[in-house]
Structure 1
Amino acid sequence: MMESKPPSPGPASATHHSHRRWAVPLLASVLLSSLLISASLFFSSSRALLLSFSPLPSAAAAEPLFVEAKLRQHHQAAAAARPPRAVPRIAYLVSGSAGDGVALRRTLRALYHPANRYVVHLDLEAPARERAELAAALRADPVYARFRNVRVVTRANLVTYRGPTMVANTLHAAAILLRDGAADWDWFINLSASDYPLVSQDDLLYTLSSLPRELNFIEHTSDIGWKEYQRAKPVIVDPGLYSLQKSDVFWITEKRSVPTAFKLFTGSAWMMLTHHFIEYCIWGWDNLPRTVLMYYANFLSSPEGYFHTVICNVPEFRNTTVNHDLHFISWDNPPKQHPHYLTLNDFDGMLNSNAPFARKFGREDPVLDKIDQEILGRQPDGFVPGGWLDLLNTTVKGKHFAVERVEDLRPGPGAQRLKKLVTGLLTQEGFDDKHCV
């Protein structure tokens, strides 16, 4: 039986096979393209999803990564939002101990100006009766009552002066001033009952009105010399941190090395510091103020080093320092623990120093009466004459009163002396190279 041969393809069959040959590659190309497009879309959406949950901002992000930077930005923005007022305002701490109640009242009277704020502290060594009498006297004063800018610390601190309790007391007063008038003052000045002004507040405010508000007047040096071995390396404990009775510090036999995390500075315990720096010391957004405070808790005479070390170890503040404490002080040579008490023999030296403050004065020393009469023009138990007092005497009782214009100040010869001092400090050769050295 013979096999039959398949029929030979015709023209239609040939065309059909030709279409099948190019259709397969086309279909494969379409499928491959679809896969590539799908993959691209998947990875793009995945990348977007990944970035939306990423905790790390890009390098170009405006928001800072670390919380310390955010806090710094917040405070800088808040400061920038407060344009400098024409007449600056000062926040004072005036502190004393047992028997200083009358001296505190006199110093406050000589320092008073309604534009300023005041915290008065009579420490825990003073009898409760003396603190109550001081608070009652200040509360009963009609001028203080009208302007409500004088606060008495009712929960007193024990201050031993050689230990860290004086620093703690200063920070306490600063915290009160920030709470009561956070944006209402420009500089902070710490004084004691044995300090006294050599210029009127009108003199001081008039001179400061022309200065940059970021200047910190703080006497300081990194050349701590003998203090390295007698203060930095010894370890002391201040009973004022835990006792209700004042007693001297005591020493620990173990020594410690000089810090390597920050550089030590030392200087005067009396200073004029800016609102921004005081705020930094309280907030401490990078923790340096607290770290340094813990170190100085065991440091002899810590008021002569704490603020100096903080300000000179922070780039934001180290170039704002003016190396002067704005005081006339008479020391032995070499200096001892305490300066001389000033007397009538020091009057000319005080005046020629051009300093706005002097210390240390004995209670009711005759030289204070001479300062009142010949420098301040102050009557016994009266206020220092000034533009505010003139306005107050002509202002209807109960009407709002404030000193907002430089023209409302009445500067006298003290302003010229103070201007000479400040101008000399700011224009001395190499001033910009002498910050924190």
Structure 2
Amino acid sequence: MLQLESAKCSFLFCLGICIFICSVIYFKAKSGDAPRALSRSLSCHPFPNNCQALPPSSSSTRWQRTSCREFSYLEGPLNCSWMQTELHFIMEPLSTEEEDYPLAFVITIHKEFEIFVRLLRAIYAPQNVYCVHVDNRAPDDYKASVRNLVGCFPNIFLSSVSEQVTYAGFSRLKADINCMEDLVRSPVRWRRVINLCGQDFPIMSNLELIRYMQGAEWRDRNMTPGIKQPKYMQHRTQIQHVEIKGVYVVPKGLKKNFPPHNLQIYFGTAYYALTRAFVKYVLNSSVAKDLLEWSKDTYSPDEHYWVTLNHVKEAPGSNIGGEWEGNIRAIKWKDQEGTAHQGCKGRYIRDICIYAIDDLPWIIKKNSMFANKFESTSFPEALDCLEQWHRHKVLQQAMVPIQLSWQLATEVNISSVTVAG
């Protein structure tokens, strides 16, 4: 009898141990489904009163964020379906018009992981394709987080070759070209490619981008705004420069040879929207390859390379007589204060405005394709407000039923919020 009782106790003890071990394994596996860095939730506080960009609410309601997660690095394995929902990605085409006109994006980043996530979800559509170039000198945990995130999307990938990017250096131009070489091998038959940096944010919706680029002015033409190189800019390409990787570009003092193929050098923006045929021309033509080689020891070659090739008659989609046309970026340059704009409400860095919330009315009225620049630490309200304005517009234009997870904010009753608080 005692032996039976002893055996029974041993059995129950072993059973308890097994249940405990299985429970630990289960809950550990379950917690591993979600990225650990997103497990801490922030309170959903209302938008600031001066968020003029938001669609108006009634006197008894206000907008409140549904996107309340803390953005940090994405650690460990991800449950991609959970992550896509939690981060409010739109996972189906919003119209046939957009589905039939896929876009390609080149995104170069090195910091501000939060802004990258918010930029990516703002421009993401499953019919498009995205090449992300992460600076070689970015921290390992940053690279790992980007890798984890893009691994959850079949149409987003990391550039196969990563450059150590230097401000105004050839490496910045090469990062874009590396992505272009990857994009032409993509199974997605994209129609145009747009380049972005990690501190950009869209003003137009995906549908508006397509309609703008397919309008009468830009149909089958590249958008690379610029003019013949002014005299005060000629030192950039007439004097040899040396790129100190990851630090700066300095002049060597030696005079450069003339541009290949007797090309007229232009000066313009580093931002573009290019046709697929033009990209193939850039990657394969001797004119483009020779100009690229010649540009290696110039200053900020991305500000002359694209616009110069776009003035070559033989280049597909070229714009021979083009100048500054093309509403690609809303940028407040310091030297344009009082003419193009009435000052930066945030602060200038390298003579470019880091936007504050009071800059948003100017940005929205300008209605460019994208705006530059934003920081999540300096003026977080500006991005909060613009992001909701943009998502609200995107969902209003959608031709499919709206899923709850696509919303970044909802209109709530003020009295119920007060009672709940």
Q: How does 1:282-431 map to 2 (within 5 A)?
A: 282-284=283-285, 287-317=286-316, 318-319=318-319, 323-333=325-335, 338-363=351-376, 365-377=380-392, 385=395, 390=400
Number of corresponding residues: 290
Structure 1 residues 59-94: Cα deviation after superposition (integer angstroms, max 9, x where no partner) = xxxxxxxxxxxxxxxxxxxxxxxxx99832210011
Shift in Å at residue 160 of structure 1? Answer: 0.8
Judge conservation of contact 1:163–1:249 (CA < 8 Å) in 2. yes
Greater share of strand: 2
Distance 1:338 1:186, change over 3 A: farther
Distance 1:338 1:293, change over 3 A: farther
**1: CA distance, partners of 2:350 / 2:238:** 18
**1: CA distance, partners of 2:387 / 2:192:** 25
Shift in Å at residue 391 of structure 1? Answer: 5.5
Are 1:102 and 2:107 an aligned pair?
no
Q: Which amino acid aligns with 1:170?
A: D
Judge conservation of contact 2:167–2:249 (CA < 8 Å) in 1. no
Match of 1:157 in 2: 163
Shift in Å at residue 314 of structure 1? Answer: 3.3
Shift in Å at residue 390 of structure 1? Answer: 3.5
**2: CA distance, partners of 1:93 / 1:137:** 16
Shift in Å at residue 157 of structure 1? Answer: 1.6
SS at match of 2:265: coil
Give me the CA root mean square deviation: 2.8
Q: Which amino acid aligns with 1:327?
A: R
SS at match of 2:184: helix
Match of 1:132 in 2: 144
Distance 1:103 1:113, change over 3 A: same
The runs of 5 or more residues in structure 1 that have no matched partner are 1-83, 241-245, 379-383, 395-437
Judge conservation of contact 1:194–1:363 (CA < 8 Å) in 2. no
SS at match of 2:386: helix
Are 1:263 and 2:268 an aligned pair?
no
TM-score when normalising by structure 2: 0.63
The runs of 5 or more residues in structure 2 that have no matched partner are 1-96, 338-348, 405-421
**1: CA distance, partners of 2:183 / 2:396:** 24
Percent identity reads 21
Structure 1 residues 220-242: Cα deviation after superposition (integer angstroms, max 9, x where no partner) = 100422011x31222112233xx
SS at match of 1:231: helix
Q: How does 1:88-237 map to 2 (within 5 A)?
A: 88-97=101-110, 99-140=111-152, 144=153, 148-153=154-159, 155-181=161-187, 184-211=189-216, 213-228=219-234, 230-237=235-242
Shift in Å at residue 271 of structure 1? Answer: 0.9
**2: CA distance, partners of 1:187 / 1:113:** 14
**2: CA distance, partners of 1:223 / 1:297:** 18
TM-score when normalising by structure 1: 0.61
**2: CA distance, partners of 1:130 / 1:232:** 35
Shift in Å at residue 156 of structure 1? Answer: 2.4
Shift in Å at residue 154 of structure 1? Answer: 5.8
**1: CA distance, partners of 2:197 / 2:295:** 21
Shift in Å at residue 206 of structure 1? Answer: 4.1
Q: Which amino acid aligns with 1:292?
A: L
Shift in Å at residue 207 of structure 1? Answer: 4.1
Match of 2:52 in 1: none
SS at match of 1:179: coil
Shift in Å at residue 163 of structure 1? Answer: 1.1
Q: Which amino acid aligns with 1:332?
A: K
**2: CA distance, partners of 1:350 / 1:185:** 28
Higher alpha-carbon deviation: 349-358 or 326-335:
326-335
Structure 1 residues 166-210: Cα deviation after superposition (integer angstroms, max 9, x where no partner) = 11110110111100137x011110000100001221332344455
SS at match of 2:185: helix
Q: How does 1:37-52 map to 2 (within 5 A)?
A: none
Q: Which amino acid aligns with 1:238?
A: E
Judge conservation of contact 1:328–1:357 (CA < 8 Å) in 2. yes
Distance 1:311 1:209, change over 3 A: closer
**2: CA distance, partners of 1:132 / 1:216:** 35
Judge conservation of contact 1:268–1:325 (CA < 8 Å) in 2. no
Q: Which amino acid aligns with 1:385?
A: L
Judge conservation of contact 1:95–1:104 (CA < 8 Å) in 2. no
Match of 2:38 in 1: none
**1: CA distance, partners of 2:381 / 2:98:** 38
Judge conservation of contact 1:266–1:309 (CA < 8 Å) in 2. yes
**2: CA distance, partners of 1:289 / 1:331:** 30
Q: Which amino acid aligns with 2:356?
A: T
Structure 1 residues 325-361: Cα deviation after superposition (integer angstroms, max 9, x where no partner) = 5110000216995412121121111111121210011
Q: Which amino acid aligns with 2:227?
A: T
SS at match of 1:251: strand
Shift in Å at residue 387 of structure 1? Answer: 6.6
Q: Which amino acid aligns with 1:324?
A: G
Shift in Å at residue 117 of structure 1? Answer: 0.8
